[in-house]
A and B are shown apart, each in its own frame.
Chain A
Amino acid sequence: MPRSSSPRRPIVVGLLLIGAAVGLLIADHASTGRGPVSVALSAMVGPLHRAISAAGHDTRALWSHYVALSEVHEDNATLRARLGELEERAASVDGLRAENQRLRALLELADTRKDLRLRSARVVGRSVSDFFRVLKLTLEVDPQGEDLVDTRGGADLAVGMPVIAPGGVVGQLRSVDGDRAEVLMLTDLRSAIDVVLETSRARGVAVGTGEPDRYAARLEYLQRNEATAIDERVVTSGDDGRYPAGLVVGRVTSVKPQAHGLFQDAEVEPFVDLSALEEVYIVLGPSGLTADGSELQREKVPASAPAGGPR
């Protein structure tokens, strides 16, 4: 251990230093604000202080932005989970919105076709065949009734009843089994609908093409001399006794006269998106009203007129 050479020297130096320190304290205390020595000291160490503080601040920024990311990872995981939850909820909302639009369209269809007795059904499946185009329905929901759950089952249904959707004709009932039913789509090879072209009034029969990769029907027995236009609407004629007249089937997408014979070939694309159908109406029969809901005007026969007279 080093020792001081003179025994008194350390005491003198110590007393001097302590005295200086106490003197500085007293001087600082006595002065208003900061003392001159404090100010001078701050000025002296100021640049170094600022430089180190800046370095410390930068290090802190570096640390918090790049190194101490454990909390960020946790936050990230939490936010991802939250995002997933919200996306799920958003998807659910989107689904509800789409369903709402579909049901609204369905109700609008029912409003515009008050001349028909309609019964709603929900599509629960599609045929998994390369040749047949069949929809599977469940008959639980009836938006027109007061209760959402319809207890009628399939009692009021019969094979052959037309099935429609907001876009137009879907097909006809193929079978009914309790609260289940199957629909033969208009694009099935076995489907044939008596139709008329809306503008040209040309008549024909829409027969499904049965193609697995698209939904289409071809028009048969379309007279060669009929002026058929592309995009012309095709509606049911009502002559087949199965489909009510005036139901939209689709639009003409191609017309080609046959090389020989009396007819021309035309193809119809259904208005209804058969691949995305969720709800449909089964047409039970005429309601006895007009399309807008008013009573049918029966021809009044004067009491004096003879029975069986001209109408």
Chain B
Amino acid sequence: MSVALALLAGLMGLCVDLFVREAWRLDAWSPDFMVLVILWLGTTRTWTQGAVIASALGLIADGFAGSPAGLHMLHALLLFYLSRGLSSRVLFQGFIGRMLLGLVGGLTGLFLFAALGKLVLPDGQVALRLTELVVPRIVVVVLFVPLGFPVLDRLESTFVRQPERDVL
């Protein structure tokens, strides 16, 4: 159930992303819900479970993006590992903490994608696109991570049955 919810949340994120892009043509300022969900997975899921979900979402994102199969998958996987590795050492709590995670995740995710994009895209285009995206994407991710995480947490607590615990 937890995996299904995460996949569904990721899929919803992709759909919202697509809808917002189509409806308001925000382009670079469009909120990257995929990155949001991947970063959230890193703070809430195990290595294995999170990696599988991130890969699946990345693959679906490839389908939506029309990019070469595996590109978004690899990007999502690496971003998940980054988020998971960071959150296993640093506790990103509160608004500021999550903003910090958003900053690191957004920036790294963007440069990671640019690095991967160089495999399939001409160098000049990647650099140009990176220049256009860097500020809006960082701003958007930094703002949306602290806002989106509580929503995803709430969804999970609502739909996923928590194991019973004895409370002393």
Interfacial residues, chain A to chain B (CB-CB below 8 A): 1-4, 9-10, 13-14, 17-18, 20-25, 27-29, 34-35, 37-38, 41-42, 44-46, 48-49, 52-53, 55-57, 59-60, 63
Contact = CB atoms under 8 A, between A and B. Distances in A.
A42 B62 CA distance: 8
A12 to B, nearest CB: 9
A37 B19 contact: no
B144 to A, nearest CB: 19
- Identify the 6 closest CB pairs spanning chains A and B, nearest first: A56-B22, A24-B70, A10-B47, A41-B63, A45-B63, A21-B74
Interface string B129-164: 000000000000000000000000000000000000
B97 interface: no
B69 A14 contact: no
21 contacts: A1-B43, A2-B46, A10-B47, A13-B48, A14-B47, A17-B77, A23-B70, A24-B69, A25-B69, A25-B74, A28-B69, A38-B66, A41-B60, A49-B64, A52-B18, A52-B22, A56-B19, A56-B22, A56-B23, A59-B22, A60-B22
Interface stretch (B31-39, B50-58, B103-111): B50-58
Contacts of B60: 41, 45
A60 B68 CA distance: 29
Contacts of B44: 2
Given A4-B46, A59-B23, A20 B18 contact: no
Contact of B48 (A10, A20, A21): A10
Contacts of A41: 59-60, 62-63, 69
A10 B46 contact: yes
Contacts of B69: 24-25, 27-28, 35, 37-38, 41
B120 A29 contact: yes
Interface residues of B, number: 40
Indicate the member of B21, B62, B119 with the most A CB atoms within 10 Å.
Answer: B62
A45 B64 CA distance: 7
B142 to A, nearest CB: 23
A1 B18 contact: no
Given A10-B47, A10-B48, A37-B69, 18 more contacts: A13-B52, A14-B77, A17-B52, A17-B73, A20-B55, A22-B74, A25-B120, A34-B68, A35-B68, A38-B63, A38-B69, A41-B60, A41-B62, A48-B15, A52-B18, A56-B21, A56-B22, A57-B22
Nearest to A39: B69
A56 to B, nearest CB: 3
What secondary structure prevails in chain A residues at the interface with B?
helix
B15 A21 contact: no
A55 B52 CA distance: 30
A44 B63 contact: yes
Contacts of B19: 52, 55-56, 59
